[in-house]
Every structure is written in structure tokens, then in C-alpha cells.
């Protein structure tokens, strides 16, 4: 199947976005809500499923594509941006939180890339979005974010978003890397994925790194992120003041400063 060949430009530093340039008739697919802006000649169409040509026109194919996206936690619908004009046109897709946008040439990577559920941002039309279940039961029970992942198939460009700083590691055959499951962004299918227990009970309970790590064994390429969204969200939630507690504190402060408290005594001229 022939993929649309698109040009692109990634802009920004901490909060990046990617501009995809489309020739007449070319199209890009994007996650719902990821579009930043587009030229007037581009037509927007929301489709059921992943929007790839591999999905087929039948009802079963559309249901299958939508079901795959639902399992990975994504929307049932995908948006297609088609250039209906006579000249080149651009559409931009923005990253949802601080990090980096990674251009992935699926043809150079062997046609398939496995990535975290929320990592996919956009792609050239023709890239198929599927699911990748980890084969081992340990990954299912303890893998957390790494158990059900997205699988991108095709020979075109796909754009993946990662949080914080991104590093790419190339693993030789038999080389092993231990990674926090949330810090894993993507890897090529040749990499073997399994979940490993951290160690002793004391390390697991007080080490602060969780009970299990992802064990990645080469050969293949691995992309890692320093700031998983789950970690960012948990830190923000922990630092945010609770509404109920804040109201209780304010109520206690006002009570202490009221008629029966210190302020009441001062204002009332209490000499005792």
C-alpha cells in the first residue's frame, strides 16, 4: 500500500508542535483534540476507527479499528486532514504536555513501532493504528502502563510525543536494559519486553521506584522519556491543596480570630 509522503517541521522547545505540509490530495491523521491550526485549503473529516486505508470500507473493518483504539484508551474516532486545494497547505499538531515530538520513519524502522498508549500524536495517511499485547502474564499483572501498547504499521511518517527529555538507546542482541514502565516511550518489535521484580522487600517498599521494572532485551531500538505523564500528574495532584482542607483551615483561622479568640480578646479590651 502506498503511503502519503509528507514534509514536516517541528517547532518549539519545551512545548513543541509539528507542522505537516501536505501536497494537493495528501492527508494526515491526528488524535482528536491535537490539532493546533490549519490552512484554509484543508478539509477536516472525522472517521470511525483509525482512518487508515488498511481498515477497509466494510462495517466489520471499521468496528475492528475502533475497537483497537478503545482498548488502548483512545477515542473511537480519528480526524483526517486532507488538502483539497491547488497548492501546498499546512496543518499543525501540538504536544499535550511538556516534552519532545519524535518523528518516526516507519519504513526505516522495519514497518512497525510499538509505543505507549498515549504517545501517538499524528501520522501521514496510510499508517495503521493497532494494539500490541505483551506476551507474558507477568507484564499483564504487573506491567502497569506497559501492558497494552499501540502498534503503528506502515512505511510512512508517524509522530510520537514523549515527556521531558528523550533518549534513544540501541540494544545489541542479548543486551538488557531495566526501565521504569512509565519511562518507556517506544521500541521496535525485535526488542523483548518482560517485567522484573525489583529485589528485596525493603527496596520495593522504601526505594521509591515501584515494585516492578520493565526488562528490555535487544536487538532493537528503544526510546525513553524522563517525565511520564502519570508521574507529572501524581506530583501535581500531591502538591495541590485539597478544597475541603483549605476550607477547614480558613474556618479554624476565622474561629480563632473571632469573638472567642485572640482577636476578639484584643478588640474587646480584655485585660485578664
- For 82-98, write each residue's pLDDT tens digit: 999 999 999 999 998 89
Q: Which domain holds residue 124?
A: 7-238
CB-CB contact of 80 with 147 (8 Å):
no
- The grid coordinates listed for 73 are 484508551
Q: Can you tell me which residue has the cell 484554509? A: 40
Question: What's the CA gap between 145 and 27, in Å, rounded?
Answer: 31
The pLDDT tens digits for 101-128 are 999 999 999 999 999 888 999 999 889 8
Indicate whether 67 belongs to any domain.
Answer: yes
User: Between the ranges 52-56, 214-218, 243-247, where is the mean pLDDT highest?
Assistant: 214-218
Average the pLDDT over 171-188 and give the result. 93
User: 125: which DSSP letter?
Assistant: T
Question: What's the CA gap between 209 and 260, in Å, rounded?
Answer: 49
pLDDT at 179 over 70: yes
Decide: pTM greater than 0.85: no
Indicate whether 55 belongs to any domain.
Answer: yes
Percent share of the chain, pLDDT over 70? 66
Provide the pLDDT confidence category of residue 266 given band limits of 50, 70 and 90: very low
- The grid coordinates listed for 251 are 474556618
Q: What is the pLDDT of residue 181?
A: 83
pLDDT at 255 over 80: no
CB-CB contact of 184 with 222 (8 Å):
yes
- Quote the mean pLDDT of the chain: 77
Angle at CA of residue 79, ends 74 and 84, nearest 5° = 165
User: Between the ranges 54-58, 75-79, 135-139, 253-257, where is the mean pLDDT highest?
Assistant: 75-79
Indicate whether 244 belongs to any domain.
Answer: no
Q: Can you tell me which residue has the cell 490552512? A: 39
Indicate whether 147 belongs to any domain.
Answer: yes
Strands 35-38 and 7-11: unpaired
Indicate whether 253 belongs to any domain.
Answer: no
Indicate whether 265 belongs to any domain.
Answer: no
Among 108-122, 126-140, 189-203, the least confident range: 126-140
Nearest to 38 by CA among 26, 53, 49: 26
pLDDT at 77 over 90: no
Q: Per this entry, what is the length of the chain?
A: 272
The pLDDT tens digits for 9-18 are 999 988 999 9
Among 110-124, 167-181, 225-239, the least confident range: 225-239
**For the chain, how many structural domains are there in total?**
1
Question: What's the CA gap between 216 and 179, in Å, rounded?
Answer: 8
Indicate whether 266 belongs to any domain.
Answer: no
Which DSSP string do the residues of 168-202 spell out, in sequence order?
A: EEEEPTT-EEEE-GGGEEEE-TTSEEEEEE-SSHH
Indicate whether 254 belongs to any domain.
Answer: no
CB-CB contact of 216 with 176 (8 Å):
yes
Question: What's the CA gap between 108 and 110, in Å, rounded?
Answer: 6
Q: The domain that contains 72 carries what CATH number?
A: 3.60.160.10
Amino acid at each position: 500500500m502506498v503511503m502519503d509522503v509528507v514534509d514536516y517541521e517541528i517547532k518549539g522547545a519545551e512545548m513543541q508542535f509539528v507542522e505537516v505540509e501536505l501536497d494537493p490530495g495528501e492527508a494526515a491523521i491526528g488524535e482528536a483534540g491535537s490539532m493546533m491550526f490549519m490552512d484554509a485549503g484543508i478539509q477536516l473529516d472525522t472517521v470511525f476507527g483509525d482512518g487508515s486505508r488498511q481498515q477497509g470500507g466494510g462495517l466489520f473493518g471499521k468496528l475492528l479499528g475502533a475497537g483497537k483504539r478503545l482498548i488502548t484508551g483512545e477515542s473511537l474516532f480519528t480526524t483526517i486532514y486532507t488538502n483539497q486545494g491547488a497548492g501546498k497547505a499546512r496543518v499543525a499538531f501540538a504536544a499535550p504536555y511538556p516534552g519532545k515530538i519524535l518523528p518516526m520513519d516507519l519504513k526505516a524502522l522495519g514497518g512497525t513501532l510499538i509505543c505507549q498508549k498515549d504517545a501517538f500524536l499524528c501520522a501521514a495517511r496510510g499508517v495503521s493504528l493497532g494494539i500490541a499485547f505483551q506476551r507474558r502474564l507477568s507484564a499483564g499483572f504487573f506491567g502497569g502502563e506497559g501492558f497494552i501498547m499501540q502498534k503503528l504499521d506502515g512505511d510512512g511518517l508517524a509522530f510520537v510525543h514523549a515527556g521531558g527529555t528523550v533518549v534513544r538507546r540501541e540494544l545489541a542482541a542479548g543486551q538488557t536494559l531495566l526501565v521504569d514502565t512509565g519511562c518507556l516511550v517506544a521500541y521496535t518489535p525485535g526488542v523483548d519486553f518482560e517485567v522484573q521484580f525489583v529485589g528485596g522487600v525493603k527496596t520495593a517498599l522504601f526505594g521509591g521506584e515501584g515494585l516492578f521494572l520493565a526488562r528490555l532485551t535487544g536487538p532493537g531500538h528503544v526510546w525513553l522519556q524522563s517525565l511520564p505523564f502519570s508521574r507529572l500528574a501524581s506530583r501535581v495532584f500531591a502538591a495541590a491543596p485539597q478544597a475541603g482542607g483549605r476550607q477547614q483551615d480558613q474556618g479554624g483561622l476565622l474561629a480563632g480570630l473571632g469573638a472567642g479568640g485572640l482577636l476578639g480578646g484584643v478588640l474587646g479590651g480584655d485585660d485578664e
